[in-house]
Chain A
Amino acid sequence: MQIVKKAQAGSFESSDIMVLVEPSEKSGRYIEINSSVDIQFGEQIKHAINRKLDELQVVDIHLIAKDKGALNLTICARVETAVKRAAGVQKGFIS
């Protein structure tokens, strides 16, 4: 999937994650993660995001995630929605 514009999904609530995506200036994935459970789950969050991006066949992306302890399935859902919005596949809005 091709990221063509900025998009976001999620919230800053506890147990949720805010995912912001935009086209990356250089080729490749640039992922920044900030998590309240970084010590305990940092690696797993990164892994979940990358796996979802693999699945959606996203090659070039700048992704910023602010996590407040979201479960893996929440992370995947938020990433998928943000990517689809940014690819123009799914409608959504930036508030």
Chain B
Amino acid sequence: MKNVIGRNIPEYINGIGKVEPFLGAWEKLKKGWMDEITVPPPNKAKLPHQCKSCMDLRMAIEKTNPHDGMTVSFHHHLRSGDNILVMTIDILAQMGIKNITLASSSLNNSHDSILKYLKDGTITKIWTSGLRGELGKAVSEGVLDVPVTIHSHGGRVRAIHTGKIQIDLAVIAASAADEEGNATGAHGKSAFGSMGYARIDSRYAKQVIIVTDNMVEYPCTPTSIQQHYVDYVVKVDSIGDASKIASGTTRITKSPMDLRIAKLAADVIENSGMFTEGFSFQVGAGGASLAVAKFIREKMKKNGVKGSFLLGGVTSYGVDMLNEGLFRAIFDVQSFDAAVSSSILKNRNNIEISSGYYANPYNCGCMTNKLDIVVLGALEIDIDFNVNVITGADGIIRGASGGHSDTASGANLTVVVCPSFRGRIPIIKKRVHTIVTPGETVDVLVTERGICVNPKKPELEESLIKAGLKIKKIEDLQKEVEGITGVEKPIEFTDKIVGIVEYRDGTIIDVIKQVKNAN
């Protein structure tokens, strides 16, 4: 069957079940309540002064009744410095556990070494926001029989509390914790800032283990994870490589192309009608998107405009804007550099939030719903403004859904910034390979070669033209770019589905096919 944006979606997938096709960005949410039930979280009990500390991670895992077919979850706040996921899966594999469903909030290059467990049947299913490196390549080549499910950050929370992901064991890394399991990422030698993605795991997992390399005296504050959800606490030598977790401060790109795109995007924002007193703002941490913050910061100072809150993945650049009084608060679901961890600890207006509060569509209003402006990147965008942030030019999975579709759906003004082509590969296409964010939630595309406004927003186009900005039709820009690069020979795929892309409401927006003749 075809979903509402014309993608072929099977009605049933082995190992996944019945598939609900994507209906439109807000269709399922319109009536104001959801038919799916919220599954009850487990009931547990401990006796007074019962000890939760375990000698090592293996002993803690043994106590949690590991079994074939179990679901194990992790957070990705340690980014590419993470040691804990691999350490845990190694232990489970040594115990001979098979058919594991891996439900990490995301996966990256630091997890490449678990590839052997995908091959030998230890891990047979994966839920994740992102997939890269060797894992992304192997999955794209069909290493698993059951397709990987790609979810958004908000969608993951929904998937857990509606019981689509039923976590047997959550192993939660923390840079500081106490003997009862109160834990945080805000301080310690491996500090990584917000623990926003792990909050839902601690609430819904049947068993919760806190792993830290920094046991502090009771009580550990702030209590990002709270003791009454924690079964066991383990001290290890190192939860990760601090230099890869969060280092120093984020620098703005020096690439002339990215800066040109960012400058144009800032001009678009300034003249969109949304750049007004009290506006809320989110930017991605990547090249051109973060550079937009630099120009917006200048424009805010010049025009005397002050915003209300910054949201999202937070960089030191956001912290600087908070400290300058340009915004009143930061809501921080994920921290990108070391300066943010200390800000969470010291500044009460730098507020750590859970991913449910951040972006879950199934509640009474997540923060992304309150966004005025978001600036996002893209691996590909098409003439219907659909965005791909998951598969590369060769069809291989090498990206992450993240908060892309969540924020695009929530913001009043969604700006996508990207070069029109990259290393001869057009970024603007007639049709993106994989849709993660539907075009109806994207308002304007800014490239170095021109600005394109979604025809659904004629009043926006009008105000940008009035401000003297040159607007091109996206179809014309696509043809212009193709004229420069030449027409690509299409990538070939087999019929096997290796991944499904869940929209934030749990419907399926697209599927990813196995690549043919991969090198």
A60 to B5, CA, bound (A): 53
Please, how many angstroms separate the alpha-carbon atoms of A43 and B488 in the complex?
10
Instruction: Tell whether B425 is near chain A: CB-to-CB under 8 Å.
Output: yes
Shortest C-beta distance, A89 to chain B (Å), equals: 28
Report which of B393, B422, B424, B489 forms a contact with A70, defined as CB distance below 8 A: B424
Kindly state the separation between the CA atoms of A68 and B425 in the bound complex, as whole angstroms. Answer: 11
Interface hits, B387-440 → A, CB 8 Å: 393-394, 422-425
Q: Which residues of A contact B488 (CB under 8 A)?
A: 40-41
Please measure, in the bound complex, the distance between the C-alpha atom of A44 and the C-alpha atom of B425, giving whole angstroms.
13
Q: Mark A51-73, 1 if CB is under 8 A from B, else 0.
A: 00000000000000000111110
Q: Are A39 and B491 in contact (CB under 8 A)?
A: yes
Q: Mark interface residues in A6-27 (1 if CB within 8 Å of B CB, else 0).
A: 0000000011000000000000
Bound complex: CA of A1 vs CA of B307, how far in Å?
65
Separation in Å of the B438 CB from the closest CB of chain A? Answer: 26
Residues of chain B with a CB closer than 8 A to A68's CB: 423
B residues near A42, Cβ cutoff 8 Å: 489
Contact A40 B393 (CB under 8 A): yes
Inter-chain contact A39/B489, CB cutoff 8 Å: yes
Among residues of A, the one whose C-beta sits closest to the C-beta of B518 is A39
Asked if A37 is an interface residue, CB under 8 A from chain B, the answer is yes
Roughly how many angstroms separate A37 CA and B487 CA in the complex, as a whole number? 12
List chain A residues, Cβ under 8 A from B489. Answer: 39-43
Contacts of A44 in B (CB 8 A): 486
Q: How far is the CA of A72 from the CA of B485 in the complex (A)?
A: 7
A90 within 8 A of B: no
Known contacts A44-B486, A71-B484: does B491 contact A37 (CB below 8 Å)?
no
Q: Which residue of A lies closest to B393 (CB)?
A: A40
Contacts A41-B486, A43-B489 known; A71 to B424 CB distance under 8 Å?
A: yes
- A72 near B422 (CB under 8 angstroms)? no
- CB < 8 Å: which of B423, B484, B485 contacts A36? B423
Smallest CB separation, B128 vs chain A (Å)? 26
Question: Which residues 466-484 of B have a CB within 8 angstroms of A?
Answer: 484
Task: Tell me the bound Cα distance from A81 to B319 in angstroms.
Answer: 50
Closest Cβ–Cβ distance, residue B354 to chain A (whole Å): 39
**Interchain nearest-CB distance for B205 vs A (Å):** 42
Residues 30 to 46 of chain A near chain B (Cβ within 8 Å): 36-37, 39-44
Chain B residues whose C-beta falls within 8 Å of the C-beta of A36 in the assembled complex: 423
**Which residues of A are found within 8 Å of B486, using beta-carbon distances?**
41, 44, 72
CA distance A15 to B485 in the complex (A): 11
- CB neighbours of B491 from chain A (8 A): 39-40
A39, B394: Cβ atoms under 8 Å? Answer: yes
**Chain B 422-464 interface 0/1 with A at a Cβ cutoff of 8 Å (1 = within):** 1111000000000000000000000000000000000000000
In the assembled complex, the Cα of A39 lies from the Cα of B488 at a distance in Å of 9
B residues less than 8 Å from A39 (CB atoms): 394, 489, 491
Residues of B contacting A69 in the complex (Cβ-Cβ under 8 angstroms)? 422-425
A49 to chain B, nearest CB (A): 14
* The one of A37, A43, A72 that contacts B425, using a Cβ cutoff of 8 Å: A37
The 7 closest A-B pairs by CB, nearest first: A69-B423, A69-B424, A40-B488, A14-B423, A37-B424, A44-B486, A40-B489
List 16 A–B pairs whose Cβ atoms lie within 8 Å, in order of A's numbering. A14-B422, A15-B423, A37-B423, A40-B424, A40-B488, A41-B424, A41-B485, A41-B486, A41-B489, A42-B489, A43-B489, A68-B423, A69-B422, A69-B424, A71-B485, A72-B486
